[in-house]
Amino acid sequence: MADIITVIVNGEPRELRVPPEMPLVWALREELGLTGTKLSCGIGLCGACTVHVSGKAVRSCVTPIGEVSGPVTTIEGLSSPGGLHPVQKAWIENAVAQCGFCQSGFIMAAAALVDETPGAQHAELLQQMTNICRCSTFSRVRLAMLTAAGHGVKSHD
């Protein structure tokens, strides 16, 4: 039988009775009801399932819940009491999303990049964004990354 696994999700400790090999994406979606994190390719390639573990972008469809060693932040927990994360603001300002299904993952990947590499050049940031969007919103992702980098890092604190 599954042991109890304790994970901090969006700042709150959560107890899960699931097998440790269950991918984090399913634990978030079906055990905790956090459906903002999506599943698409299932092999860690498209990035739709991206969440933060200890502030780093992680593809939750290939991350077993038992191997999660730090606090998890999902799209639902990205904003702070002070407001939306600068990347979210930039995304809304540039009207990036079309169907929106991949956008949680896109925003989480972009937020980790912007937060981790303050002052990074726009092109450097873009090179590291490997998420797939089938609506092909890339033209506006590019604009939003420019806006987000310009907003200043961690201005939401």
Partner 1 sequence: MTEALQVDRRRFLGGAGAVVLTLVCGDRGIARTFGVPEPVATEQVFSAWLSIDARGMVTLVNAEAEMGQGTNTAMAMLVAEELEIPWGRITTVPMTARPIYTNPAFGMLKTGASLSLKGRYLQLRQLGAAARQMLVQAAAQEWKVPSQACRAVAGEVHGPDGRSMPYSSLVAGAASLPVPQDVPLKPRADWAILGKPQARIDMADKCTGKARYGFDKTVPGMVQAALVHAPQFGARVKAVDSKAALAVAGVTRVIALDYAVACIASTSWSALQGADALVIEWENPDPAAVIDDAKIDAMLRDGVAGKVQGRNGLIPAHKVGDPAAGFAQPGVLAVSAEYSTPYLDHACMEPTSAIAHVRPDGIDIWSSTQSPAMIYHAAKLLYGFEADKVRVHQQPIGSSFGRRAQIDGELEAMVLSRIIGGPVRAIRSRSEDIQHGFYRPASRSALRGAVKDGKIVAWSHRCASQSLLDNYARYFREYGIDLKELDKLTGPAGASGFNFAPFDLMSVDGTPSNAVYAIPNVEVASAKIDVPIPTGWFRGVGQTNNLFATECFVDELAYAAGQDPLAFRKTLLSGQPRFLAALDCAAREIGWDKKPAKGIGRGIAITNMSDAVTVAIVEVAASKSGFEIRRVVLAVDNGIVINPDVVEAQTQGGFLFGLGAALWGRISIAEGRVEQTGFADYRLLTLQHCPALTVIQMPSDDPPSTISEAAATVAAPALANAIFAANGRRLRDLPIARNDFECRATVA
- Interface residue list for partner 1 (CB under 8 A): 2, 19, 22-23, 26, 29-30, 34-43, 45-46, 48, 74-76, 78-79, 84, 88, 91-92, 95-104, 107, 123, 126-127, 129-142
Shortest distance, position 132 Cβ to partner 1, whole Å? 5
Q: How far apart are CA 119 and CA 115, in angstroms?
A: 9
Based on CB atoms, which residue is closest to partner 1, 57 or 97?
97
Based on CB atoms, which residue is closest to partner 1, 122 or 154?
122
Cα–Cα nearest to 40, from 62, 56, 18, 21: 62
Degrees (nearest 5) of the Cα angle 53, 55, 59? 45
Shortest distance, position 152 Cβ to partner 1, whole Å? 19
For residue 91, count CB atoms less than 10 angstroms from its CB and return exposed for 0-12, middle for 13-18, buried for 19 or more: buried
The secondary structure of residue 140, as a DSSP letter, is H
Based on CB atoms, which residue is closest to partner 1, 116 or 135?
135
Based on CB atoms, which residue is closest to partner 1, 135 or 150?
135
